[in-house]
Structure 1
Amino acid sequence: MNNAAGGQKASAKPHFFLSYAHMPAVGSRNPNLRVARFYQDLCEAVLQLTPLPTADPVGFMDETMHQGDNWAAMISDALATCRVFVPLYHPRLFRSVPCGQEWYTFAQRSTGAPGGPALNSAIVPVLWVGMREETLPAVAGAVQFKHSSFPQEYVEDGLYALMAQRHHREKYEQVVYKLARRIVEVALETVVPVVEPVDFTTNPSAFPGQSAADQLTIAVLSFKDTELPANRDPAYYGAGRTDWQPYQRGAATALAEQAAQLARQCDLNPTIHEFDAAAGRLMDLDRPGGPGVVLVDRWVLHDPVRRELVREFARRNPSWVTVVEPWNRDDPQCVAEHAVLAALSDEVLRQRGRVAKPSFRAPVADDGEWEGIPSAREFGMAFQHAAVRAQKAFKERGLPRPSSSTGRPRPTLRDAFGPVIRPSLGRPSETETDEDDNGGNHDV
């Protein structure tokens, strides 16, 4: 019986943890709704098969959290206390860094258990779609996931197919019941110690071979609260440049953190940086490290030094780095400065003979200026679009071309930035080409 040590914590642990790869939105449709429905059906079935107190959580699924919650802490706590780990097998799951980190974090709890990991593998996989064994990572293929008692349609095509076809309703309910019974049995038969929560995002992924295209750089171009112009409200800023939150005064969660959560829902592994520190890497056309999204606070464009840095970024125009410009239409200061900063943004991001640097901005406002992303809700949709587009461009980028016959080396900012960013970057001369070999010009 799963009587792991943990004192009072043990009485509040979820019976199972559902791990799945978030699907990006398809138009106005949410492709994760069927996962949520399955989770609810599974919770109900497990509840029917156990004497769980009504105060105890039956399961844990991160879709149940509201935006702004400390999602990493909540997931880490559930991984440290749940009885059974339930991964939804799907190709996206095994490409997802967060899902691999969840698996690794749970598996670590078994390493010190009596009998070792082999006797404490409290993992019950679910075939969300049909999977061939040879396509699975070793850690997933080692877990039994095709039981003879399950309907053949489930083994071949997965649970999603049963849910999508009405005539398979009975088979779907049969599979849910059998999975619930298996979860309850595994919880009784294994001993997985309850441990102190560890931030799961600091752990490695259990799935090898993560691609550079899955590593997303979120670069924030903004101010610290000590750098602001005299006429700017400090309540939208914090001690660091990545603490900027344009949509809510005094918010506890920075916009970049919300963006990182949105990126994880697209199976990307995000890291957050100040734009000033990441600029050299983002503009390296010879050896790009991965896709990126730049969050631009237009107020920064009043600073001539950093404005030139953005201008150089736009000149190089790496197609795998997109731009998102949040702009709170309910902020009186933004309304007052709208025309000036919109014009600055358009001028800095536009280069001779080409459209502005690809930017996920709202349609042109009544006054003819770009409005920016006017609300947190619209930001979520725009950011995921920008992140997926950046990843696609990174995958499709051409190989670096050899240097031109003139022998002039390609310009690089790799060594241009020290601890204090004071670049001296001017406009390209009239003899330079408007287009860069490895840049992009894919406006939306």
Structure 2
Amino acid sequence: MVTARRRTPATVLAVATAGVLAFSLVACSPQDGGTGGTTDDAPTTAASPAASATASDPATPPAEQPTSCVDGEQDLATLAASTLAVGVVGFDDAVQAVDAGVRHIFIGSSTDLSILDGQGDPGRSISALKQRAADAGGELTVSVDEEGGQVQRLGSVIGDLPSARELAETRSPEEVRGIYAEHGRKMGELGITMDFAPVVDLAGGESISDNAIGDRAFSDDPGVVTGYGRAAVDGLLDAGVTPVIKHFPGHGHATGDSHEGTVTTPPVGEMGADLAPFAELSQIPGVAVMVGHMQTPGLDTGDGSVLGAETPSSLNPAAYALLRDGIGGDGGAGGAGGEKGPGFDGIVFTDDLTGMQAITDLHDGPQAVVQALRAGADAPLTSTAADVPATVAGLVAAVENGELDRGRLTEAAGRLCAV
């Protein structure tokens, strides 16, 4: 069942037109002219009316421009590996990834939690991996899907976190900020530096089986989602954990589950409310964004080479252009629907490219990673470190044959290491 969406006055995006939202491939890359994962399949929870919250201040300043920290002369394979975010099972495969140049690992549902700091042998811990990366001249980011409710990986170690829906129904935004801050501090003690949360999709179905969201959403009201999303973001930042808002451009009113196949949203001209939380929360300094695999009709490149109705957003240059160029009242380019907001220049992740059928039905892992980086992603997410050698080889080949510009890799790696 799809719940009704209520539009808020100034902070919610007005209806866009597909023509205004056509972008060119050249416009997708901010600098060089080219351009998690979630494996949540837990049981569902019944819904009840959502509580209201105050939308956050739209005057939030944009995130600062990252400073490049990439050696432009470094080995191409090492540069390619440094753009990847990969899932690990345990210490041994994490070591192999780090030694290959990977600087982002994530803790998934199959990870041996003894790798976490304080949970096992200190010599085979996240801290040991961070030191290994530092010895090689880099810093290691460690992420996790810790949303709360049905999607959390660390409950057995640091305790349960209620679902977004439950929090919005039972707690104030101020209380939610404190809850996420405390949970974030516990994650930090385990060595976690980044959380793929909060979900800022609107609620479009009662249960997770409707579209993979269900009670992962705070509400069907964009103002409530924005208010509680800000509380979660602020709480994680208070704890020193980087929040990653997801799943851009909005999964709440999509049909289907991208873990199991193709997912389609309403036409982009009808997605103003879904885009509203991303437009505002992406401007909080320190926030990253995850792009989902939904196909969005009308989110097309200007030359017609990529059609949103046929291309997952994670591989669609127009989706990254919409985020980078600034989401406005008309959905992206200013004009009759409202002035365009500031663009996002932080890190953009993809959802898992190797464990979700919305992508694997179209491309193998290395091909998907190449396409995601070409489209504008900074950190293509893959679910297993075992894929690293083939993925790096695929990226090197793509640069050497002209399919992918080396400058695109440098740009992506620069954003990642700046964190």
Q: TM-score, normalised by structure 2?
A: 0.26
Q: From the CA coordinates, give the structure whose radius of gyration is larger.
A: 1
Give the helix-richer structure, 1 or 2: 1
- Report 1 or 2 for greater relative contact order, CA contacts < 8 Å, sequence distance ≥ 6: 2
